Amino acid sequence: MSAKAWDRLATIVMWLAAALILALLGWFIGLILWRGLPVISWHFLTARPSEVEAGGGVGPELFNSFYVVLLSLVLSVPVGVGAGIYLAEYAPRGTLTDLVRLAVESLATVPSIVLGLFGMIIFVNFLGLSFSILGGAATLALLNLPVLVRVTEDSVRAVPGSFREGALALGATRYQTLLRVVLPAALPGLVVGVTLVAGRALGETAILIFTAGTSVSRHLFDLNPLAAGETLAVRLWSIQSESVVPDAARIARGISALLVLVVLVFNLGVGIPGRWLERRLSGRS
């Protein structure tokens, strides 16, 4: 068989594999939405959960999911992006820098339940935060950091060197080059990194069970970061494992569909402004 035939065969196989993966993903998401969308209603989205009677909602859990993710991003994005930029642009080549990269990659492989136990020991017990939104967000920030550092470093390193050379040749300082040329060019990768960690945080369960708890505040939308912070994913776990609510299966179907929709909306909500900001910064450079 000729090289051209082998190339055509490999292309067909890859297209078939991609189509199979997309079909499985579409079937999986479609099944979740088909079973769960009829459960979602305004009452379901705003009512408090019920522990005994049927008909409860997930209002506090929905609010807590976004609140915990937002706080975790506030804590992790400046540190993770800053560390990635430093490693890509300023860190000298050497053993110490290689050890830092190795430590970051090793932290990324730590199971989330181990980070949950660490967060419970440090934030819940040692710092006395108890089961709270703040403790859960701080532990999620530790989960986010390795991904943010690696994605940021790779995105910044992927910017062609000619961009830097051109800016420096026009008289820009190194800081101006980084701010006005490198970061706008690397912004799509940074947006992808933030979206990945946010989506992972929305579906995280083990960490939040140990740090944010499995209960909610007395108030429907409680902004107190020290309040208990059960999220949608934790509610899904608890209602499937230990709940005595008569309609537990129905609520689980609704939460599953709602989580899928929340992740899709969040991806669009982060991706579209990120593209707009990229074009605006590129226009200024």
CATH number of the domain residue 148 falls in: 1.10.3720.10
Residues ≥6 apart with Cβ < 8 Å to 132: 123, 124, 211, 212, 213, 225, 226, 227, 228, 229
pLDDT at res. 245 = 81
Q: What is the pLDDT of residues 18-44, one digit of tens each?
A: 999 999 989 988 999 999 999 888 888
Residues 31 and 149 in one domain: no
When pLDDT is cut at 50, 70 and 90, the band that residue 5 belongs to is confident
Tell me what the mean pLDDT of segment 150-167 comes to.
Answer: 87
Residues 96 and 217 in one domain: yes
Residues 21 and 130 in one domain: no
Residues 146 and 35 in one domain: no
Going from the C-alpha of 17 to that of each of 8, 28, 30, 58, 210, the distances in angstroms are 14, 16, 20, 38, 39
Q: Secondary structure of the chain: what % helix, strand, coil (to 5)?
A: 75, 0, 20
pLDDT greater than 60 at residue 284: no
Ordered DSSP codes for 213-277: -S-B-SSTT---TTS-B--HHHHHHHHHHT---TTHHHHHHHHHHHHHHHHHHHHHHHHHHHHHH
Residues 201 and 60 in one domain: yes
Other CB atoms within 10 Å distance of the CB of residue 160 = 10
Residues 111 and 234 in one domain: yes
Residues 233 and 266 in one domain: yes
**What's the pTM value of the predicted model, to 2 decimals?**
0.84
Tell me what the mean pLDDT of segment 79-105 comes to.
Answer: 87
Percent of the chain residues past pLDDT 70, beyond the cut: 94
Q: What is the pLDDT of residues 245-262, one digit of tens each?
A: 888 888 889 999 999 988
Other CB atoms within 10 Å distance of the CB of residue 234 = 26
Tell me what the mean pLDDT of segment 8-23 comes to.
Answer: 91
Whole-angstrom distance, CA of residue 101 vs CA of residue 201: 23
- What DSSP character marks residue 127? S
Residues 19 and 136 in one domain: no
Domain range holding 164?
42-284
Residues 20 and 93 in one domain: no
When pLDDT is cut at 50, 70 and 90, the band that residue 217 belongs to is confident
Whole-angstrom distance, CA of residue 273 vs CA of residue 68: 21
Dihedral sign, Cα of residue 208, residue 122, residue 150, residue 72: positive
Residues 12 and 131 in one domain: no
Residues 14 and 46 in one domain: no
Give the total number of structural domains in the chain: 2
pLDDT greater than 70 at residue 55: yes
Residues 193 and 223 in one domain: yes
pLDDT at res. 135 = 92
> Which backbone phi and psi does 216 adopt, to 5 degrees?
-125, 165
When pLDDT is cut at 50, 70 and 90, the band that residue 182 belongs to is confident
Going from the C-alpha of 93 to that of each of 4, 63, 87, 164, 213, the distances in angstroms are 43, 45, 9, 19, 43
